């Protein structure tokens, strides 16, 4: 198995506070998309004072392609300026 930390950057620092109804719908589609993957261990928004962002922790089989998963996200496909940072996690401790 491989593990990843993925950070989703919004198109603007005030996105969470100034989201339009169309962007709210897009975020609902984003959440629904992530829920289709059993490898999504945890995901959600982070209330960073410098600007909200999304985080995802992934556990994937070795042959899975995290970049393809991120590229398929409705936020990325929207062309509105969202972007992912993808970071492999060489070691993970999971609470039982």
CATH number at residue 21: 3.30.70.1060
In Å, how far from its chain's centre is CA 10? 10
Calculate the CA 31 to chain-centre distance: 9
The answer to whether residue 57 is domain-embedded is yes
Does 58 reside within a domain?
Answer: yes
Give the integer Cα–Cα distance in Å for 96 and 65. 26
pLDDT of residue 96: 77
Predicted local distance difference test score (pLDDT) of residue 13: 87
Whether 40 maps to a domain, the answer reads yes
* Count of structural domains, the chain: 1
**Domain-embedded: residue 93:** no
Please give the average per-residue pLDDT across 72-85, as a whole number: 98
The structure tokens listed for 61 are: 């089989």
Mean pLDDT score of the chain = 95
- Average pLDDT on 1-11 reads 97
Whether 96 maps to a domain, the answer reads no
Range of the domain at 74: 2-88
Nearest to 92, CA basis, from 69, 61, 59, 64? 59
């Amino acid at each position: 198995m491989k593990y990843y930390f993925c950070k989703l950057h919004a198109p603007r620092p005030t996105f969470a506070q100034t989201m339009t109804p169309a962007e709210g719908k897009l975020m609902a589609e984003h959440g629904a998309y992530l829920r289709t993957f059993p490898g999504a261990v945890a995901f959600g928004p982070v209330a960073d004072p410098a600007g909200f962002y999304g985080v995802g922790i992934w556990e994937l089989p070795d042959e899975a392609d995290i970049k393809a998963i991120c590229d398929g996200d409705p936020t990325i496909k929207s062309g509105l300026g969202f972007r992912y940072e993808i970071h492999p996690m060489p070691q993970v401790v999971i609470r039982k």
